[in-house]
Amino acid sequence: MSVTEAGATIWLTGLPSAGKTTIAHELAGRLRAAGHRVEVLDGDEIREFLSAGLGFSREDRHTNVQRIGFVAELLAANGVKALVPVIAPYADSREAVRGRHKSEGTAYLEVHVATPVEVCSVRDVKGLYAKQAAGEISGLTGVDDPYEAPTAPDLRIESHTQTVQESAAALFALLTERGLA
C-alpha cells in the first residue's frame, strides 16, 4: 500500500474559534495535491446531519464525538485521510475514539490547536463568545463549560503564533514523519 492509499484519522481538538477547521481545510488541500483521498468531517456539519437532535450536555457531546469517531475510523480504514476539526471537550470521549482506532488497527493522530480563550473570543468566528457574554447562551466550551486539553497530543499547534500555512505545514510534516504523507 502506498502512502497516498494509507488512511488515517487526524483529530483537531481545541476551543471554539481556535482555527481547527481552517487548518484542516489548508491541510486537506496539501494532501489532495499530493494525491491523497481526504474528507473533512466538520463538527458543525456533523451536528446538522449526523447528530441532529443532540444537545450540549456531557452525554450528548460524548455521543456526538463517538458518532464522528465511528465515521472517521470507517473512512480511514478505507484509505481516506479523515480530518476531524471538532472541539471534543472531554478527554474520555477522545480516548474512546483513539481506543476504537487502535482496536481496528487504524492510524489516529490527536492534534491540539492550543489557542488561548482570549484569542478565540476576539476571533469569535460564529459570534458564540459575544452571545455568551450577553447572556444569550450558556455552556460555551472553555468559558462556562469545561474543556479538557490533551495532556499528550501527537502535535500541539499554537495557531495564534503562526500562520494557517505554517500550522498545516507542521501537521503535514508530522504525517510525513509517521509515514502517512
Residues 6 or more apart in contact with residue 166 via CB below 8 angstroms = none
pLDDT digits (tens, 9 = 90+) for 36-59: 999 999 988 888 888 888 988 999
Angstrom distance (rounded) from CA 50 to CA 64? 8
Mean pLDDT of 102-128: 94
- Backbone φ and ψ of 139, nearest 5°: 80, 30
Q: Which residue has the higher pLDDT, 55 or 69?
A: 69
Min mean pLDDT across 15-24, 74-83, 130-139, 150-159 is at 130-139
3-class DSSP string for 102-166: HHHCCCEEEEEECCCHHHHHHHCCCCHHHHHHCCCCCCCECCCECCCCCCCCCEEECHHHCCHHH
Decide if pLDDT at 131 tops 80. Answer: yes
pTM for the predicted model, two decimal places:
0.94
Decide if pLDDT at 17 tops 80. Answer: yes
pLDDT digits (tens, 9 = 90+) for 74-95: 999 999 999 999 999 999 999 9
Mean pLDDT of the chain: 94
pLDDT at position 170: 97
pLDDT at position 144: 87
pLDDT at position 125: 87
What is the crossing angle of helices 164-177 and 20-33, to 10°? 60
Decide if pLDDT at 147 tops 90. Answer: yes
Instruction: Please report where in the chains the cell 480530518 appears, as a residue.
Output: 83
pLDDT digits (tens, 9 = 90+) for 88-114: 999 999 999 999 999 999 999 999 999
Q: 145 with 89: CB under 8 angstroms?
A: yes
